[in-house]
């Protein structure tokens, strides 16, 4: 997958996530926490994208960043799951 494709796909997920969080503002503090975090998104269906993003997570962790994984789910009641790494 090219960087352009990865960026485009992650931007699609970013729009979905930000739309969800603006509808549920009470979740903002839990997702983002009090300190700065780096968010990497994971798709519910796109395995290739997730593989690339897993590599991205590893690189960020090596740089010493505090990473939070935002995983899209297939559950309409809870469309996103957040995991602090």
Partner 1 sequence: MRKRRKVKRKYYSGSVINELIKLVQQDKSRTLTVTETIPKEIYLTNFDKITHLRKIDEKGDIMEVINVSYEIKLENDWITIVRYDSAHGHLHRHTLFSLDSPDELVDRDRVIKRGNPELWYTWAIEDIKERFLEYRKGFTKRSKILNLGY
Sole binder of partner 1 in the list 54, 59, 75, 84 (CB under 8 A): 59
* Distance of closest approach, residue 27 Cβ to partner 1, in angstroms: 7
User: Are the C-beta atoms of 67 and 61 separated by less than 8 Å?
Assistant: yes
Kindly state the tokens that stand for 70.
């935002």
64 near partner 1 (CB under 8 A): no
- Interface contacts to partner 1, rule CB under 8 A: 2-4, 6-8, 10-12, 14-15, 18-19, 22, 25-29, 32, 34-41, 52, 56, 59-60
């Amino acid at each position: 997958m090219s960087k352009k494709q990865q960026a485009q796909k992650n931007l699609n997920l970013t729009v979905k996530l930000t739309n969800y969080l603006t509808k549920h503002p009470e979740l903002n503090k839990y997702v983002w926490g009090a300190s700065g975090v780096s968010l990497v998104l994971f798709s519910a269906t796109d395995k290739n994208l997730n593989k690339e993003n897993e590599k991205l997570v590893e690189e960020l962790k090596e740089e010493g960043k505090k990473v939070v994984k935002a995983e899209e789910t297939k559950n309409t009641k809870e469309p996103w799951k957040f995991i602090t790494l």
